[in-house]
Amino acid sequence: MNKTLVFGGSGQLGQCLQYVAQERGFTDIVFLAEEQANILNQETLRATFEQHQPAYIINCAAYTAVDKAEDEVDLARKVNRDGAENLARLCAEFNATLLHLSTDFVFAGTGNEPLTETAETAPISVYGLTKLEGEQVIPQHTAQYFILRTSWLYSEYAGNFVKTMLRFGKERDEMRVIWDQLGTPTYAIDLAGALLHIIESGSTAYGLYHYSNEGVTSWYDFATAIFELGGLPTRTVPIRTAEYPTKATRPTYSVMDKTKIKAELGLAIPHWRASLAECMGRLS
């Protein structure tokens, strides 16, 4: 099997990849935490490539603090753009394929039609802008890449919306949750499976893809489903985005069309409710 290196291996998606790799008997894979291999440290990165001679790189390392990014522009750009560039350069040099994660935040979110990979990008936050810059810099240095845009990531690992709602649901009788932002939750275990599927298939259908679970929902409906599946009596109250101001602006509509990844890579994608039920089963 071709060796795979995972950068950002201790984060939410990295932990999901560890779980799925173990389940599938995917053994020739090395998980690197930030302190082991920082994607901004070119000297350490080169040494890591030389040591392992990887065939595949999965880049889970990212600056994802959406609101903090509005104040930490330089740091967000270094991680999300420069880090991606560093990996792309080395992938080209070592003939490795790069699997890189991006986000629905590259879109303005002002439409109402599912977004394809060719839809116009117009990020409205620093986070979205720096992730788009990462997408754009990778093809400048390597042709062997898969960029997967994803959305509303959650799992039983690390901090995320599902775990936050479960915690609040045990503490509060009522939760006010935004109902006028529409998108699709993505179970990070499913995303991890898609990434390993790409490697296992040996596909050379390089390029940009969208991956989330199927369906569309609001944060309000997502929270309501979490409380229902968790057997919590918490009442969910719908509020508008304007009633919950945040430093960074979020897309109002960021449902992504998955036609391309299903056709090109032969992926079957579960509905978000089915995947949420699976996650909740593991959390209980």
137 assigned to some structural domain: yes
pLDDT score at 284: 82
Q: Which of 87, 126, 129 is nearest to 106 (CA)?
A: 129
Residue 13 pLDDT exceeds 90: yes
pLDDT over 60 (residue 120): yes
Percent of the chain with pLDDT over 70: 100
In a domain, 284, yes or no: no
Task: Write b or e for each residue in 146-182: b if 16 or more Cβ atoms lie within 10 A of its Cβ, otherwise e.
Answer: bbbbbbbbbbbbbebbbbebbebbeeeeebebbbebb
Angle between helices 161-171 and 219-229 (to 10 degrees): 60
In a domain, residue 193? The reply is yes
pLDDT at 51 over 80: yes
235 in any annotated domain: no
Q: Tell me: pLDDT of 95 over 60.
A: yes
Q: Which residues are catalytic?
A: 127
Structural domain contains residue 223: no
pLDDT in tens, 230-253: 999 999 999 999 999 999 999 999
The per-residue pLDDT of the chain, averaged, comes to 97
Residue 103 within a domain: yes
1 pLDDT above the threshold of 60:
no
Q: Residue 24's domain is classified under what CATH number?
A: 3.40.50.720
Domain extent, residue 39, equals 4-159+184-214+255-269
Residue 2 pLDDT greater than 90, yes or no: no
Closest listed residue to residue 185, CA positions, set 212, 149, 165, 223: 212
Residue 259 forms part of a structural domain: yes
Band (7; pLDDT cuts 50, 70, 90): very high
Task: Decide if 167 is inside a domain.
Answer: no
Looking at the whole model, is its pTM more than 0.95? yes
Q: Could you tell me what percent of the chain has a pLDDT over 90? A: 98
Residue 30 class from Cβ within 10 Å (0-12 exposed, 13-18 middle, 19+ buried)? middle
Q: What value does the mean pLDDT take over residues 12-21?
A: 98
Residue 67 pLDDT exceeds 80: yes
- The total domain count for the chain is 1
Q: Which pLDDT score is estimated for 34?
A: 87
